[in-house]
């Protein structure tokens, strides 16, 4: 085989006429549908830009969308499924290549070195997935962004490497979907047009038959085939590339209420999904200290830049509100970067996140966080350390962070396993009703969430309720069933080369 050539593989790609068109949802559904049919499937996105990430089975960092798509395919998430991940930060995004931190793109800088390594990572990752029956590839943004075409490795370049035919999806709910499909096809070159095989509409409300006449015109003009329309899907706890889907979440009528602070560099907001989709839990993502004050629990989530987000907290009065809550014995939870911000001081001698050597934290915990050049990306499991004896509550999750925190308070979690290896470590700390931890995914642990809900209900003097588990799996099943009913799967199978 010549150098750089891909082995024979069956692959299809989902591209969109825009960001948010429904690529991730469709890829998630297809991964589960193929798995249900008995095929081994693997998700793949050559390059993603997202602050929502997770730790793969091989210890790398990948976008949460591909992590969940691997679960949909019933296979282990691997670094090869998202070989290039860009994480926005002050001054330019961090680059994650093959699951590991590889530096930072300086705003206005030269992309050539980074893109050369990125292309190599994409090519080698596709080769490593060639043993799967089908690779379900997700494009990025739109393939017709002609101003950045030479740097676009996630659409036409990746499709060409894999020899993949393309499904083009457009959001009909936004309006202008027919023009978006036709305009995308028009702006692509002849080689890319030949790969476009099927087009779909997403988020259709009402009678889909009204689309038929327009779809036939698109078929006649482009040669693509119309594959159907996916109805508007509500209540699916699937990760987005940004927190837009959470911004409209309101407090609702939940019997207990959680509020997460919407900081500028909020990351890993998939932590919140198990709360949003609980029937009796109200949730809001807010930049209003007053709304946080009214909540039963305030969450300070992950952060791509703890120092910058700490400045936001101080400028908007959150630090005073958080300190007052803790003095009153009201609940505050800091996760990863949120935990760092709640410490007494953040030391950054290596200037990982800022030009300052040291900044004052919120001071909820009498601990010190020190930023380090090494990035931790580990899967962990353990148990909650209780003051009283009783059945330990097991938890599992992952850590993604720069820096360490020298805790002085009572510790929160006993870590038993790190990346599958037995360890004996302590994580986080507890001061009164405030909890800090580096472990993401806590609320996905049903026993932990149930215990938290029981305690809050007892404090409020109301009856507790059962929390729902397997939120992610239920969402995967839901979208797979909807896509199976609404999309011409025979057409999809034919374009993918599967009998």
Three-point CA angle 75, 486, 194, nearest 5°? 75
Whether 71 is a known active-site residue: answer no
Query: Do 167 and 288 fall within a single domain?
Result: no
Query: Do 45 and 160 fall within a single domain?
Result: yes
Q: Exposed (0-12), middle (13-18) or buried (19+): which is 143, by Cβ within 10 Å?
A: buried
Query: Do 208 and 304 fall within a single domain?
Result: no
Question: Residue 102 domain-assigned?
Answer: yes
Query: Do 116 and 203 fall within a single domain?
Result: yes
The residues with which 410 forms a beta bridge, in sequence order, are 430
Q: What share of the chain is helix, strand, coil (3-state, %, to 5)?
A: 35, 30, 35
Quote the CA–CA distance of 120 and 138 in Å, as a whole number.
Answer: 18
- For the chain, the C-alpha Rg in angstroms (whole number) is 23
Quote the CA–CA distance of 217 and 494 in Å, as a whole number.
Answer: 22
- DSSP string for residues in 304-338: S-HHHHHHHHHHTTHHHHHHHHHHTT-EEEEETHH
Question: Residue 434 domain-assigned?
Answer: yes
| Structure token pair of residue 72 | 């949909």
Residues 6+ apart with CB under 8 A from 483: 25, 26, 29, 30, 33, 230
Mean pLDDT of 183-200: 96
Query: Do 311 and 388 fall within a single domain?
Result: yes
Residue, of 11 and 239, whose pLDDT is higher:
11
Tens digit of each residue's pLDDT (9 = 90 or more) over 305-354: 999 999 999 999 999 999 999 999 999 999 999 999 999 999 998 888 88
Instruction: From residue 43, give the alpha-carbon distance in Å to each of 77, 161, 186, 343, 394.
Output: 9, 15, 28, 38, 30
Mean pLDDT of 212-218: 97
Give the model's pLDDT for residue 243. 46
Query: Do 390 and 444 fall within a single domain?
Result: yes
pLDDT at 9 > cutoff 60: yes
CATH at residue 488:
3.40.50.300
Q: In what order do the strands lie in the sheet with 47-49?
A: 47-49, 84-87, 94-97, 100-104
- End-to-end CA, the chain: 27
Question: Residue 270 domain-assigned?
Answer: yes
Query: Do 183 and 318 fall within a single domain?
Result: no
Question: Residue 126 domain-assigned?
Answer: yes
Query: Do 139 and 261 fall within a single domain?
Result: no
Tens digit of each residue's pLDDT (9 = 90 or more) over 103-148: 877 666 655 557 888 999 999 999 999 999 999 999 999 999 988 8
Give the model's pLDDT for residue 72. 98
Q: Which residue has the tokens 């800090």?
A: 436
Question: Residue 372 domain-assigned?
Answer: yes
Quote the CA–CA distance of 296 and 118 in Å, as a whole number.
Answer: 45
Tens digit of each residue's pLDDT (9 = 90 or more) over 54-85: 999 999 999 999 999 999 999 999 999 999 99
- Among 27, 71, 336, 401, the active-site one is 336
Length of the chain equals 499
Residue, of 374 and 180, whose pLDDT is higher:
180
Query: Do 391 and 484 fall within a single domain?
Result: no
pLDDT at 99 > cutoff 90: yes
Give the model's pLDDT for residue 31. 98
Tens digit of each residue's pLDDT (9 = 90 or more) over 143-177: 999 888 888 999 999 999 999 999 999 999 999 99
Mean pLDDT of 394-404: 96
Give the model's pLDDT for residue 26. 97
Tens digit of each residue's pLDDT (9 = 90 or more) over 254-285: 899 999 999 999 999 899 999 988 989 999 99
Q: Check residue 440 and report its DSSP letter.
A: B
Whether 440 is a known active-site residue: answer yes
Structure pTM? 0.92
Helix or strand or coil: residue 94? strand
Query: Do 60 and 135 fall within a single domain?
Result: yes
- Cβ-count burial 221-244 (b if 16+ within 10 Å, e if not): ebebbbbbbbbebeebbbbbbbbe
| Domain boundaries, position 172 | 11-236+476-496
Question: Residue 455 domain-assigned?
Answer: yes
Structural domains counted in the chain: 2
Question: Residue 113 domain-assigned?
Answer: yes
pLDDT bracket for residue 250 (50, 70, 90): very low
The residues with which 314 forms a beta bridge, in sequence order, are none
CATH at residue 280:
3.40.50.880
pLDDT at 240 > cutoff 70: no
Per DSSP (E only), the strands in 331-437 are 331-335, 345-347, 358-360, 368-384, 394-406, 413-418, 421-427, 429-431, 434-437
Tens digit of each residue's pLDDT (9 = 90 or more) over 468-493: 988 899 999 999 999 999 999 999 99
Tens digit of each residue's pLDDT (9 = 90 or more) over 426-469: 999 999 999 999 999 999 999 999 999 999 999 999 999 999 98
Helix or strand or coil: residue 190? helix
Query: Do 292 and 410 fall within a single domain?
Result: yes
Question: Residue 194 domain-assigned?
Answer: yes
Average pLDDT, the chain: 91
Query: Do 229 and 192 fall within a single domain?
Result: yes
Residue, of 111 and 209, whose pLDDT is higher:
209
Tens digit of each residue's pLDDT (9 = 90 or more) over 403-432: 999 999 899 999 999 999 999 999 999 999
Contact 168, 178 (CB under 8 A): no
| Structure token pair of residue 73 | 């395919």
């Amino acid at each position: 085989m010549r150098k750089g050539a891909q082995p024979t593989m069956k692959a299809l790609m989902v591209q969109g006429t825009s960001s948010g068109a429904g690529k991730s949802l469709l890829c998630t559904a297809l991964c589960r549908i193929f798995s249900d049919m008995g095929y081994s499937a693997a998700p793949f996105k050559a390059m993603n830009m997202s602050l929502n990430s997770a730790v793969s089975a091989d210890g790398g960092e990948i976008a949460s969308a591909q992590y969940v798509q691997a679960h949909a395919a019933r296979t282990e998430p691997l670094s090869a499924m998202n070989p290039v991940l860009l994480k926005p930060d002050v001054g330019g995004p961090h680059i994650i290549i093959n699951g590991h931190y590889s530096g930072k793109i300086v705003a206005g800088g030269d992309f050539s070195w980074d893109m050369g390594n990125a292309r190599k990572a994409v090519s080698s990752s596709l080769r490593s997935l060639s043993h799967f029956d089908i690779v379900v590839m997700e494009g990025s943004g739109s393939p017709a962004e002609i101003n950045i075409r030479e740097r676009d490795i996630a659409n036409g370049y990746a499709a060409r490497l894999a020899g993949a035919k393309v499904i083009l999806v457009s959001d009909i709910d936004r309006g202008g979907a027919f023009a978006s499909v036709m305009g995308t096809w028009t702006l692509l070159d002849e080689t890319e047009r030949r790969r476009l095989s099927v087009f779909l509409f997403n988020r259709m409300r009402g009678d889909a038959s009204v689309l038929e006449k327009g779809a036939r015109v698109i078929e006649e003009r482009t040669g693509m085939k119309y594959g159907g329309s996916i109805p508007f899907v509500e209540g699916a706890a699937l990760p987005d590339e940004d927190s837009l889907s959470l911004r409209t979440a309101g407090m609702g009528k939940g019997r207990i209420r959680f509020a997460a602070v919407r900081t500028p560099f909020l990351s890993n907001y998939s932590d919140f999904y198990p709360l949003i989709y609980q029937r009796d839990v109200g949730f809001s993502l807010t930049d209003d200290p007053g709304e946080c004050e009214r909540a039963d629990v305030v969450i300070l989530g992950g952060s791509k830049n703890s120092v910058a987000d700490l400045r936001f907290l101080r400028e908007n009065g959150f630090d005073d509100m958080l300190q007052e809550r803790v003095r009153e014995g009201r609940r505050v939870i800091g996760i990863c970067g949120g935990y760092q911000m709640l410490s007494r001081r953040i030391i950054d001698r290596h200037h990982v996140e800022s030009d300052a050597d040291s900044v004052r934290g919120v001071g909820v915990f009498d601990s010190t966080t020190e930023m380090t050049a090494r990035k931790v990306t580990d899967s962990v499991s353990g148990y909650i350390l209780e003051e009283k004896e009783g059945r330990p509550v097991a938890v599992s999750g992952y850590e993604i962070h720069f820096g360490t925190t020298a805790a002085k308070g009572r510790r929160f979690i006993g870590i038993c396993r790190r990346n599958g290896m037995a360890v004996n470590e302590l994580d986080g700390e507890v001061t009164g009703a405030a909890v800090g931890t580096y472990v993401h995914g806590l609320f996905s642990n049903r026993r932990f969430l149930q215990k938290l809900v029981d305690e809050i209900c007892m404090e409020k003097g109301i009856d507790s309720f059962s929390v729902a588990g397997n939120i992610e799996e239920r969402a995967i099943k839901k979208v797979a069933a909807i896509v199976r009913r609404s999309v011409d799967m025979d057409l999809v199978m034919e374009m993918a080369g599967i009998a």
